[in-house]
Structure 1
């Protein structure tokens, strides 16, 4: 009888049956997650834990922290630096850096003010020139790196000083230009909110996309006679994600609602994430960041990848400067200075993008900037000095780098094992 049982089981094994046992359902997913954490693949776990701790601490000290309208203001503030951080993710994935993103955003802000208000240009034309300036600066960095071998640290440090000088020059002795408060650009940066029905509808999209892409992946793996995750796990993930997003939207709509500017930031993060994970360019980014020489030998145009990363970084920095001008309703000498560089780079790293290259996600900028702005917002509500904000943000950044280093060491040792 044992022989008959074995004969019945053998065809299933031979044809690569992808059905999973009942004990490989939810518990199997949990055990798989634990195994990934032990191997050093922490993903977004540290960020979520950090957000929970920050929320508990600041809400216990000041209940206003979790008030709907305060969270709406926090999302407005996240969008400006968050867009800049998306570009930082691209260069960090290659193991490089751009120290001039703050100056680039300030210069773009100044261009909008000078061309639009002082010179009478259409606002769309002024924004286009600011974006083109970002493209030109990124192309210059790529040329210095690809053709002359100048390290990105030195090139962007020189760019930081030069671009800051240009910003001060074009603003002139006044140093500040007020933008028309009633203009669509300023309204977009300060008061425009999505309709409640639209925000709830958009909150359904990620869950639907997760189901569709998950089913497609399962079918492809089954066609290739590979194991696939159970359908129940996929449904649970989609339901949990949708419930969380719908609750967040519901809670924000108890106040002013979801800002359009934050929606633009999320859209850019989604587009960049798709490009990084679903396109040949994205796969090339990971390959070059992981091992440049191996990527070159496999036929990847390494110089073109570096060009695209630097251009994308400076362009997003310029766009962040335009959004900053809209948020503040002004272009000034202070735009892009202070902690803009710190927050943009820290957001990408805190969110999980590796400083060593080869690993990162567009969503790391999204989650990382929420962490940073939550700290800043909470300390402001407590009326504490900005010195504490710098120290705490620096501590969080150092912790994120330490976690990344330990996780990288764990992945290496696990791979050897």
Structure 2
């Protein structure tokens, strides 16, 4: 396939611009030297954390512990997806924990006390979360109130609303035989299905990447060689296949964790493959330039806040199902800060415009790995808070250094 070059009779062969594997390695090295670190520091840090905890306690990387670790990641990780969206705009939401608690309270009251169908209870809880996000977006776009103040007020107001919804009882137990509790606690992928899912995921990755590279080649742009695409897909298949086999030695892959990963994939698709996603990055990178380019900035802000608070509500529902209870402490404790820390540790910039939905997955795995490892070492929560705080500070420092390096090299 050939593509004519603009303003000339020369013809560029698409395959001539395909990168060989060696070229890709050189390009990766160049990106690192330019400060475009991506998720590399997170992956390296996660490997170090796992190695250290495995040395200190050989039960850390056992299948039962990793199965529990995956289930622990799902609820707060779902909340963190919404935090990533807000951070991409260079904004913040301090109320995601309270919103998750309110959603848990709504689920408990309507499902248990009012005897609603569980699906109806979930829908109402999600709509409540979306309505709060719409209200945040209205206040920000209409009056220009900083989101720090809006969501700080929301944290207090929504917490009060949660306590009011729960009433005098303060705690509501969800039936263990309800499908939502069984979904969060007892449902796992059958072994065969997990292997089929691994093959399907690797095949889908290869097909999507291959088509994207063909479009780049047709446009005369540099593209990835099909050999590199195949190697990446095969590596993904081996990773997923081994992970499935190892977790299947115990209970397997929890459906709640599968849901979390699917939400990350969907959010990543929305951010990278849609006009809305490109608008989010544009607004987060330079809001005035985005406005001059014709992007409806206010709509982007409102939609992102609605998405973020809806994810927070869904995370609260999953957390309530995992504990089989909704109470006054739902969404409290360190849920709020953990969700925000996961997004930042996972690689989303506090300055806006850089990051991905995968940050939520990587970040929450790091935080929950630290929590699980310290628990196995019989260390109390005080140590966990200090270690997590140190990791968060290190992630912000890396982000600041990366941003400075990119500015020096003139990279957006």
**TM-score by structure 2 length?**
0.95
Q: Residue 120 of structure 1 corresponds to which residue in structure 2?
A: 115
| Structural mapping, 1:218-297, within 5 Å | 218-297=213-292
**2:95 and 2:336 in contact (8 A); partners too:** yes
* Runs (5+) with no aligned partner, structure 1: 1-12
Q: Residue 73 of structure 2 corresponds to which residue in structure 1?
A: 78
SS of 2:364 mapped into structure 1: helix
Q: Please say if 1:364 is aligned against 2:359.
A: yes
SS of 1:16 mapped into structure 2: strand
SS of 1:177 mapped into structure 2: strand
**1:92 and 1:353 in contact (8 A); partners too:** yes
Q: Please say if 1:188 is aligned against 2:183.
A: yes
Q: Please say if 1:17 is aligned against 2:31.
A: no
Q: Residue 36 of structure 2 corresponds to which residue in structure 1?
A: 41
**2:17 and 2:217 in contact (8 A); partners too:** no
Q: Which moved more, 1:88-97 or 1:208-217?
A: 208-217
Aligned pair count?
A: 404
2:310 to 303, 307, 315: 315
Q: Which moved more, 1:193-202 or 1:222-231?
A: 222-231
Q: How many angstroms apart in 2 are the aligned matches of 1:19 and 1:43?
A: 27
Q: Residue 160 of structure 1 corresponds to which residue in structure 2?
A: 155
Q: CA deviation at 1:228?
A: 2.1
Q: Residue 134 of structure 2 corresponds to which residue in structure 1?
A: 139
SS of 1:65 mapped into structure 2: coil
SS of 2:132 mapped into structure 1: helix
Q: CA deviation at 1:20?
A: 4.8
Q: How many angstroms apart in 2 are the aligned matches of 1:19 and 1:292?
A: 37
**1:142 and 1:310 in contact (8 A); partners too:** yes
Q: How many angstroms apart in 1 are the aligned matches of 2:173 and 2:221?
A: 61
* Runs (5+) with no aligned partner, structure 2: 1-8
Q: Residue 340 of structure 2 corresponds to which residue in structure 1?
A: 345
Moved segments of 4+, more than 3 Å = 18-22
Q: Residue 4 of structure 2 corresponds to which residue in structure 1?
A: none
Greater CA radius of gyration, 1 or 2? 1
**2:189 and 2:253 in contact (8 A); partners too:** yes
Q: Which moved more, 1:65-74 or 1:211-220?
A: 211-220
Q: How many angstroms apart in 2 are the aligned matches of 1:281 and 1:364?
A: 19
Superposed CA deviations along residues 95-131 of structure 1, whole A, max 9, x for unmatched, are 0011000000011101111111112222112111111
Q: How many angstroms apart in 2 are the aligned matches of 1:358 and 1:205?
A: 31
RMSD (Å), alpha carbons:
1.6
Q: CA deviation at 1:225?
A: 2.5
Distance 1:313 1:42, change over 3 A: same
**1:20 and 1:230 in contact (8 A); partners too:** no
**2:14 and 2:218 in contact (8 A); partners too:** no
**TM-score by structure 1 length?**
0.94
